[in-house]
Chains A and B, each alone.
Chain A
Amino acid sequence: MYEYEVKYYDGQSSRSRNAFLLLRDSHWQLIFRDENDEEQSTRWEIDQIKQNDMGSALNTFHYGDFPHQSVEIEDPTFIDDLKQKYPGLDFVNKNYHRVLTGGWKVMAGLVALTILLFALFAFVIAPNSAALIAGQIPRSFESKLGENGYQVFMTTAEEDAKRSLLVNRFAKQMDFDTDYPIRITVVESDEVNAFALPGGRIVLFSGLLDKMGSAEELAGLLGHEVGHVKHRHSIKAQMRSLSTYLFVSLLLSDVNGVTAVLMDNAKMLSNLSYSRKLEHLADEEALAVLQKNHISQSGLVDLFRTLQGEAGKEPEFLKFLSSHPLTQDRLDFAKKAAAKQRGEQENLELKAIWERIETEGKKESELPG
């Protein structure tokens, strides 16, 4: 019992020697014939035998310090024999060995557990810690971040200075209930889009401004964008994608492709639902701002209609879709709120500025070139 035919290597050369391995209580004994055909015996102390990796059809065991002696054992029962002979000692890495010999039930259980943990990280831990960090970012850093982004953006964009001035004057007439300094820049572009940067800057493309039809609509848009600023959506979203990115590349890196694929799908799903959530929050904020300023909330409904019209016509709208996904739900939500609204008054001041913005826009489009 516990005798095996093995191949023995002395660590000095690759010369293969047939040997007998005997498992003793305190050591392994190897008996082989040397080059002079004399019988030799060598003793491997148990605690200096290196752990084998995970078990295979042909197992190699190494002994002692470099250069290691080693033996190769092809006996299929050897790993099990080791467990019987030396209970409590791990000659193979038990984590891996257990899984590799545990059959499909163990494997299925582990897969399920992994997916569960994975979902926990991807959908709960990573995004929440991101939100926590986003909340800790100081105002000064936030505005520096926004300012940097703005400068970079403006290097390739052309400002419509006159309408910028007017839209800012328009915004000054409104109370956004925030201490972020709101500064709006109208940029010459066919794009039907607008976006908010952290710290209070809002960029409004002339393509969208041209399509809008009323002061209320502009007020609705500003309310929505300021909502993004107030609730630090840009930083939160960035932190979130950063955290998932770190989660992927730092924690799991390229442990294997499976992870990457799983993660990609999870990330897309989670980002999509997250941006929906942020849009909804910004819409709520817009409605509140309109109410506070006694402006008709149907402005927001009109804005959505303008955008929806665009969706049918222009492929550029896809961009708006991705930065502010527009859904029927959002339109219905605004409609419902507007129907219940009380206390709206016509704001002549805003109307006057809006008319000047419109005239300015027409002048612009009549300009040659």
Chain B
Amino acid sequence: METIDDQQRKLGFWGEGSKLFGIFIVNMLLTLITLGLYYPWARAATMKYLYQETEFEGSRFTFHGTGKEMFIGFIKALGIVLSLYLVLFLFMWIGNTLFTLLGILIFFTGMSLLTPIAIHGALRYRMSRTSWRGIHFGYRGNLSELIRICIIGFLLTLVTFGIYSFWFEMKVRRYLIQNIRFGNVQFSFRGDGTDWFGLNLAGYLLSIITLGIYSFWWMKDRLKFQFSNIRIHQDDSTIKVKTSFTGGNYFGLVIVNGILMVITLGLATPWIMIRNIKYIFDNIVLDGAFNPDALEQTEEDYRDATGDDLMDALDMGM
């Protein structure tokens, strides 16, 4: 198949609020009946639905994760988090100040190491379990490298009273994205900390001056930054991500979501999730030559969901 420059492609999303609602109801019911044991299966089902309704070049994505894998990961993640808490409580129970401090130290060290471990594991799992036309994604990042980035970033953030966090965040994002593979397709992220910091500082100040009205434009700028700095590389061609987020359409999204949420007492959540995904997909275009038939299977299988469940336990979203 021939590739022509100036190609534009979009991601399509066919999910329906009513179907997602149905899945949620089944999930809730089974989770209740099984006293929570069904939870990993519930999570897998939701992901499967959202993936299978996402379309690119006429083919749907597939999430291969299973409830069983996620359950095993869930148990491991639970074990890790609980044992950290156990250490904390044991040391505090002993009662003397030295032990309490030691316990807190171990707890927070463990918790802060848990973050990169969780991100690494989750990304490996999530990528490996995602396929399109039978080709699986993969994450090739190195855990010790990620931990190194996180420790340095964390310390610099501490000594700069949080200002460095913007550079830190971009560094992590660059590292994660450049290690994602999709067959022979690679990704990269071009955003740097200085731009990210400037964008957020300006957005923050303008939002204060305009009594919050500017915040919609600020959020729009953040979304745009996060997507438009992604590059997709296939062989020699580079695909850019073009966005059409505007303050106006973001405002529309948030206001309608808010109204729906309030008048339905939260029951509209599935519809709102669908609206959010559609909003993102409607406003990004992949711009550049791409051959959808030329992807080769390059990544290996990875079935350990511990990291993914840890992310869930730590309440971090992907």
Residue ranges of A at the interface with B (Cβ–Cβ < 8 Å)? 7, 9-16, 53-54, 56-58, 60, 62, 66-70, 72, 93, 95-96, 99-100, 107, 110-111, 113-114, 117-118, 121, 250-262, 265
Contact = CB atoms under 8 A, between A and B. Distances in A.
A56 B39 contact: no
Interface stretch (B42-50, B112-120, B158-166): B42-50
The residue in B49, B52, B63 that gathers the most chain A C-beta atoms within 10 A of its C-beta is: B52
Contact of B269 (A10, A113, A250, A258): A258
A54 B134 contact: no
Interface string B20-59: 0111111111111101100100110110110011010001
A14 B183 contact: yes
A259 B135 contact: no
Contact of B23 (A67, A100, A261): A100
A99 B136 CA distance: 30
Given A96-B22, A114-B25, A114-B28, A252 B36 contact: yes
Contacts of B46: 255-256
Nearest to A9: B134
Contacts of B294: 13-15
B19 interface: yes
A261 B14 contact: no
B269 A54 contact: no
Interface size bucket, B side? 35 or more
Given A58-B55, A110-B26, A257 B133 contact: no
A96 B45 contact: yes
A65 B256 CA distance: 45
B107 to A, nearest CB: 18
Contacts of B24: 255-256, 258
Nearest to A52: B52
B103 to A, nearest CB: 15
The residue in A7, A99, A265 that gathers the most chain B C-beta atoms within 10 A of its C-beta is: A99
26 contacts: A9-B135, A14-B133, A14-B135, A14-B293, A16-B292, A53-B45, A53-B49, A54-B19, A67-B136, A72-B59, A72-B60, A96-B22, A96-B45, A100-B23, A117-B32, A118-B28, A251-B31, A251-B35, A254-B315, A255-B31, A255-B39, A257-B266, A257-B269, A257-B272, A258-B269, A265-B265
Contact of A110 (B14, B25, B183): B25
Contact of A16 (B267, B269, B293, B296): B293
A100 B55 contact: no
Contacts of A67: 134, 136, 297
Contact of A251 (B39, B64, B272, B293): B39
Contacts of A70: 62, 131, 133-134
A121 B293 CA distance: 52
A251 B45 CA distance: 16
A54 B134 CA distance: 18
Contacts of B63: 53
A13 B296 contact: yes
Contacts of A100: 19, 22-23
Contact of B134 (A69, A117, A251, A260): A69
B134 A14 contact: yes
A118 B25 CA distance: 12
Nearest to A262: B266
